[in-house]
Amino acid sequence: MIVRDALFIGGSWVPPAGDGVIEVGNAATEEVMGSVPDGGPVDVDRAATAARAAFDEWSRTSVDERAKVVERLGEALSALVPEVGTVVAQEVGMPLSMATVIQGALPALVMGSYGSILREVVFEERIGSSLVVREAAGVVAAITPWNYPLHQAVAKVAPALAAGCTVVLKPSEVAPLSAFLLAEAAEEAGLPPGVLNLVTGRGSAAGEALVAHPEVDVVSFTGSTTAGRKVAALAAQSIKRVTLELSGKSPSVVLDDADLSEAVNSAVRQCMLNSGQTCIAWSRLLVPRHMHDQAAELAADVVASYVLGDPLNPSTTLGPVATGAHRERVRAAIQGGVDEGATLVAGGSHQPDGLDRGWFVSPTVFAGVEPGMTVAREEVFGPVLAVLPYDGEDDAVRLANDTIYGLSAGVFSADRERALGVARRLRAGMVDVNGGGFNLLAPFGGFKQSGYGRELGRHGLEAYLETKSLQLP
């Protein structure tokens, strides 16, 4: 049991205002693995007040000093990589070998990257008779999800601190434990009191209180589009700046000259990463109609190679989903696909064989999916792939863009320039070309109802800076 009974406010570990507790479940065993305080509005007020008190001094520190702090914080997180990987693997269900790298090491790299990024920012420029300066935007409310808990926290905290902002972090109650490791790393790195504050609690209490708090200037939220609408509406009442990173129903487009086997293998594995609990998952596979049946068969072969089991078992290549409630939502979506007439070629809504405990879902592939089917339009957030046929390149682009979302996409072609041409036509914030890898310095974010604003790299710093013009005689 990992018991956390204090909140990190004003540089100290303090007891919460109430005695409520949130239990954290182990996704593979369904047992309680830890607990955190169920914080509320009183705790949020203390944290926001502490962040406001620390803002003036922190925002006036030199660029070099802030750069050194985030670099030290990155080093402190690097030392915690094995612990983070183990904790998140149990909370979320990602196999440990992947969790150590993605959930543990990547956030440390992102944090450290903001030292060099910050040193390259131009904070002052002359435009005619004016001096235009860029300065910290204020107190930041960082509200983060459960699927990549530390990574998503760092994607907000790192640029905010680098910009000179102070932060109140409210992690998801489903997977909050790594946030405490981040707070401890901040202590070790010598972050001044009040610059980073941690309050755990539920979105309906702590989250909404934080968004509405008068001392908060900027809100950065990652979660579902439904929740994002509520956050935006609440923040609008006091005209707060808002960044939203929301849902997706992302396509991977396989053009007719692509190596079908390689493209399908890459697309399926991207879709199934973290048991499909990934906002940028390519959950729609678009293939030429004459290749549809072969593509569906290849996809079924790929998912058949997965080994489901406890994330801490080295042989496991696909773990459970994060909660029992989420498992039921994913299974209902799978059954919905069957009911609407899609062809189930792998997986299904049944309990996987040999796994009596744990919130497991079989990796699932649907073929013959029509564009109007729910499984082709709504985010499942589980290991579910829909294969859709198209007729010609223009039709592929039309189908790829036929969604209220626009977060991510992939394009595969033997001709790189052709693939780039299609990628430029897709209404998505991020497009991988022929399996191009993740770049932690590139802007991360979406179009349409996938949100607005960007995270990571230099573009991720923009959300936390204000622009001021000083008119000179």
Residue 350 has what pLDDT? 93
Phi, psi (deg, nearest 5) at residue 375:
-70, -15
- How far apart are the C-alpha atoms of 84 and 178, rounded to whole Å? 6
CA atoms within 13 A on the CB side of 88: 35
Residue 369 CA: distances (Å) to CA of 98, 289, 293, 330, 341: 31, 12, 12, 17, 8
Residue ranges matching CATH 3.40.605.10 in the chain: 2-246+450-471
Confidence label for 320 from pLDDT (cuts 50, 70 and 90): very high
- Per the structure block, which two tokens stand in for 459? 């573009």
Q: Which residue has the tokens 């509406």?
A: 233
Residue 409 has what pLDDT? 98
- How far apart are the C-alpha atoms of 17 and 330, rounded to whole Å? 36
Confidence label for 103 from pLDDT (cuts 50, 70 and 90): very high
Residue ranges matching CATH 3.40.309.10 in the chain: 251-439
250 close to 428: Cβ distance less than 8 angstroms: yes
Structure confidence by residue, pLDDT tens digits, 342-400: 999 999 999 999 999 999 999 999 999 999 999 999 999 999 999 999 999 999 999 99
Q: 60 Cβ partners below 8 Å, 6+ apart?
A: 164
Residue 2 has what pLDDT? 98
- Which CATH code, of 3.40.50.2000, 1.10.240.10, 3.40.309.10, 3.30.1330.200, is assigned to 251-439? 3.40.309.10
Which top CATH class is 2-246+450-471? Answer: alpha beta
Phi, psi (deg, nearest 5) at residue 281:
-60, 135
Residue 207 has what pLDDT? 98
Residue 471 has what pLDDT? 98
Residue 332 CA: distances (Å) to CA of 67, 105, 276, 329, 350: 47, 34, 15, 5, 10
441 close to 106: Cβ distance less than 8 angstroms: no
Query: CB count, 10 Å around CB of 160?
Result: 29
Structure confidence by residue, pLDDT tens digits, 13-42: 999 999 999 999 999 999 999 999 999 999
What average pLDDT does the segment 200-214 reach? Answer: 97
Residues forming the active site? 245, 279
143 close to 246: Cβ distance less than 8 angstroms: no
Confidence label for 271 from pLDDT (cuts 50, 70 and 90): very high
Structure confidence by residue, pLDDT tens digits, 71-100: 999 999 999 999 999 999 999 999 999 999
- Per the structure block, which two tokens stand in for 187? 């202590």
